[in-house]
Amino acid sequence: MSQDLSAKQALIIGGGIAGVSAALQLSSAGLQVHLVERDDHLGGHALDFGCKAIDTCQKCNVCLALDKFRQVLQASNVHIHLASQLDALTDSSNGSGFRATILQKPQLITPAKCIACGLCAAACPVNCISPATPALGFTYYTIDRSRCLALQGQDCHKCRDLCPTSAIDLAAQPSTHQLDADAVLLAIGYEPYDALGQGTYGYGTIPNVITGLDAEHQLQASATILRPSDSRPPKKIAFIQCVGSRSDETAPLAFSSQYCSAVCCAYALRISRLLAQQLSESQITIFYMDLQKFGKDYQTLYSDCRDKLRLIRSRPSRLEPAADGQVLLTYEDVTETQVCQEPFDLVVLSIGMRPAADARRLADLLDIDVDQHGFLNPLGSYRPGIFVAGSCSGPADIAETIQRTSAVSARLLDTLRRAPLVANI
Ligand SMILES: Cc1cc2nc3c(=O)[nH]c(=O)nc-3n(C[C@H](O)[C@H](O)[C@H](O)COP(=O)(O)OP(=O)(O)OC[C@H]3O[C@@H](n4cnc5c(N)ncnc54)[C@H](O)[C@@H]3O)c2cc1C
């Protein structure tokens, strides 16, 4: 017998594009959805990326993600819990679902009360107040808890005193509340590879070595990429592929990173093609091991880029600071079998995707498997009613994340339509 879904509730952990897509799909099927996000805003990583369009769309799908984030803010049966985490999950008293304990960090600014006037941000002596979601056009302000002077015991409350709607409460305390759910979907995403761990590439010490994520942030903020040291357009740019992917390095968490992150070749090519058009004087070199061709648009992207870029099959061994803010790159030219050194104005490390920081804790809490790399195993034989979606189960771009999540959401709905619950394998 098919169940009426309007009386059912789903709990989604993680408000990136996976969690948000699932929330839209499940709510449009009639479910009440609780979307729990650890940050002060929804969006995950895709919210911080820039559009890479040239004269035509490059199908990076960032705008697709932004559209879904806007839609979910309007959805009436999606209840959003920000700055929150799943603290415990037990079986519900009637035995047909779950009771979740949600821990919420202190809500220093209540989004519903904030009118985004910006008076607080202008008054903050340490600039720790900023708009939460400028990319969505609608925003409220958030306080960076780690830098707020009031939270460090200092007598600072200018923001609170100036707020015209009393949206700021610097004495707010963490709270817990409980939610009932018939199904739980984990969509906690990934962490970008921490390039500070790649010592030989000088990230964090050589000013004009940036990561792909830094490049994305610059693109989003100013639609182009400049050298951090002098804000000038770079003339010679190098991308180094597979930083933190396909390597024997096991830190952090003792999981191997011998996997391809699946997104770096495409984002590096898209950013390169954009820069090649914007900075027509520039020369762009991509150092790669193999260019991995994922997705049906990749071949067109690659063919379009091939003539505009210099592609060198080599994994550079060392980066050093050089005169005029340049970066001296050492690599082996495998065709000539000789070691070469070449200066660049800017080096972009194409960092990959690592398992979510909270994957292990949640896997233990919900009794689910992680694979040998530390990602949640989407095909594990979990307790009935528990599902895993998006990049927390392995690297994927936005389009694939949405596709995978749609399949998992359909499985979740199917499970709830049937009574009693059956295992999700
Ligand atoms: C440098 C870089 C550039 C990229 N550029 C592109 C691109 O141009 N186009 C493209 O298609 N893809 C790109 N990607 C891939 C893209 O980022 C992912 O496909 C997408 O973000 C995956 O979405 P997600 O929801 O699975 O994960 P995430 O974006 O990581 O979202 C997960 C969410 O869960 C939250 N969360 C985590 N733990 C918890 C917890 N315990 N409790 C509650 N919430 C939690 C996080 O705060 C976050 O909001 C890029 C990746 C990288 C590394």
Average pLDDT score over residue span 37-52: 95
Beta bridge partners of 283: 236
Joined together, the tokens standing for residue 189 give 């995403």
Would you give the distance in Å from CA 353 to the centre of its chain? 9
Q: Ligand 1 within 6 A of 375 CB? A: no
**Total domains, the chain:** 2
Strand bridging mode 98-104 / 129-131: unpaired
Domain of residue 285, CATH code: 3.50.50.60
Average pLDDT score over residue span 378-392: 86
DSSP per residue over 295-349, as a string?
Answer: STTHHHHHHHHHTTSEEEE----EEEE-GGG-EEEEEEETTTTEEEEEEESEEEE
Looking at every residue in the chain, the average pLDDT score rounds to 91
How many angstroms separate the CA atoms of 42 and 397, rounded? 18
Give the pLDDT score at 154.
96
**Model confidence at 303, in pLDDT bands (50, 70, 90)?**
confident
Sign of the CA dihedral running 85, 159, 113, 44: negative
How many angstroms separate the CA atoms of 368 and 160, rounded? 43
Joined together, the tokens standing for residue 263 give 């997104």
Q: What is the pLDDT of residues 93-111, one digit of tens each?
A: 777 799 999 999 999 999 9
Joined together, the tokens standing for residue 331 give 């690599």
Task: Note whether residue 183 is domain-resident.
Answer: yes
Both 343 and 396 in one domain: the answer is no
Closest by CA to 72, choosing from 52, 101, 47, 53, is 47
Q: Is 399's pLDDT higher than 60?
A: yes
Who contacts 225 (Cβ-Cβ below 8 Å, separation ≥6)? 215, 218, 219, 234, 271, 275, 346, 348
221 alpha carbon – ligand 1 mean position (Å): 18
DSSP per residue over 340-389, as a string?
Answer: EEEEESEEEEEE-EEE-TTHHHHHHHHT--B-TTS-B-TTS--STTEEE-
Contact call for residues 23 and 395 (beta carbons, < 8 A): no
The DSSP code for 199 is G
Closest by CA to 343, choosing from 323, 361, 316, 369, is 323
Q: Find the range with the poorest average confidence among 84-93, 273-282, 378-387.
A: 378-387
**Model confidence at 293, in pLDDT bands (50, 70, 90)?**
confident
Both 255 and 394 in one domain: the answer is no
Average pLDDT score over residue span 360-373: 92
CB atoms within 10 A of CB 318: 13
Both 224 and 340 in one domain: the answer is yes
Both 246 and 378 in one domain: the answer is no
Both 315 and 334 in one domain: the answer is yes
Joined together, the tokens standing for residue 132 give 């939460």
Average pLDDT score over residue span 140-148: 95
How many angstroms separate the CA atoms of 328 and 41, rounded? 39
Indicate the top mutation candidate among 42, 45, 408 to test ligand 1's pocket, ranked by most ligand atoms within 8 A of CB: 45
Q: Give percent above pLDDT 90 in the chain.
A: 76
Both 268 and 391 in one domain: the answer is no
Closest by CA to 5, choosing from 36, 27, 35, is 27
Joined together, the tokens standing for residue 4 give 């009426």
Task: Note whether residue 129 is domain-resident.
Answer: no
Nearest atom in ligand 1 to the alpha carbon of residue 85 is 42
Q: Whose CA is nearest to atom 35 of ligand 1?
A: 14
162 alpha carbon – ligand 1 mean position (Å): 35
Q: Ligand 1 within 6 A of 244 CB? A: no
Domain stop point among 352, 375, 394: 352
Q: Which domain holds residue 210?
A: 193-352
**Model confidence at 419, in pLDDT bands (50, 70, 90)?**
low
Give the pLDDT score at 299.
82
Q: Whose CA is nearest to atom 9 of ligand 1?
A: 60
Q: Ligand 1 within 6 A of 44 CB? A: yes
Both 281 and 313 in one domain: the answer is yes
Place of tokens 């024997």: 248
Q: Is 178's pLDDT higher than 60?
A: yes
Of all helices (H) and strands (E), which one includes residue 407?
Answer: helix 398-417
**Model confidence at 333, in pLDDT bands (50, 70, 90)?**
confident
Average pLDDT score over residue span 397-403: 96
Q: Ligand 1 within 6 A of 85 CB? A: yes
Q: Ligand 1 within 6 A of 216 CB? A: yes
44 alpha carbon – ligand 1 mean position (Å): 5
For the entire predicted model, the pTM comes to 0.94
Q: What is the pLDDT of residues 341-351, one digit of tens each?
A: 999 999 999 99
Q: Ligand 1 within 6 A of 160 CB? A: no
Q: Is 138's pLDDT higher than 90?
A: no
Task: Note whether residue 124 is domain-resident.
Answer: no
Indicate the top mutation candidate among 213, 263, 265 to test ligand 1's pocket, ranked by most ligand atoms within 8 A of CB: 263
Q: Is 422's pLDDT higher than 50?
A: no
Higher pLDDT, residue 208 or 55: 208
Task: Note whether residue 139 is domain-resident.
Answer: no
Q: Is 249's pLDDT higher than 80?
A: no
Both 302 and 405 in one domain: the answer is no
Both 216 and 334 in one domain: the answer is yes
Task: Note whether residue 59 is domain-resident.
Answer: yes
263 alpha carbon – ligand 1 mean position (Å): 11
Q: Is 306's pLDDT higher than 90?
A: no
Q: Ligand 1 within 6 A of 189 CB? A: yes
190 alpha carbon – ligand 1 mean position (Å): 6
Q: Is 252's pLDDT higher than 50?
A: no
189 alpha carbon – ligand 1 mean position (Å): 5
68 alpha carbon – ligand 1 mean position (Å): 14
Average pLDDT score over residue span 119-131: 97
Q: Is 425's pLDDT higher than 50?
A: no
Task: Note whether residue 133 is domain-resident.
Answer: no
Domain stop point among 303, 336, 352: 352
Find the angle CA(390)-CA(76)-CA(392) to the nearest 5 degrees.
10
Both 264 and 363 in one domain: the answer is no
Q: Is 381's pLDDT higher than 70?
A: no
Give the pLDDT score at 424.
44
Give the pLDDT score at 397.
95
The DSSP code for 230 is T
Task: Note whether residue 120 is domain-resident.
Answer: no
Domain stop point among 352, 378, 403: 352
Both 397 and 272 in one domain: the answer is no
How many angstroms separate the CA atoms of 100 and 96, rounded? 13
Beta bridge partners of 354: 191
Task: Note whether residue 163 is domain-resident.
Answer: no
Both 17 and 82 in one domain: the answer is yes
203 alpha carbon – ligand 1 mean position (Å): 22
Closest by CA to 243, choosing from 297, 203, 294, 298, is 203
Q: Ligand 1 within 6 A of 397 CB? A: yes
Q: What is the pLDDT of residues 9-31, one digit of tens each?
A: 999 999 999 999 999 999 999 99
Q: Ligand 1 within 6 A of 267 CB? A: yes
Q: What is the pLDDT of residues 213-228, one digit of tens each?
A: 999 999 999 999 999 9
Q: Is 377's pLDDT higher than 90?
A: no
Q: Whose CA is nearest to atom 19 of ligand 1?
A: 397
Dihedral Cα 59, 257, 259, 350, nearest 10 deg = 30
Closest by CA to 245, choosing from 283, 196, 294, 192, is 192
Higher pLDDT, residue 419 or 75: 75
Is the backbone of residue 242 left (phi > 0), alpha (psi -120 to 50) or beta? Answer: left
Higher pLDDT, residue 379 or 104: 104
Q: Whose CA is nearest to atom 8 of ligand 1?
A: 60
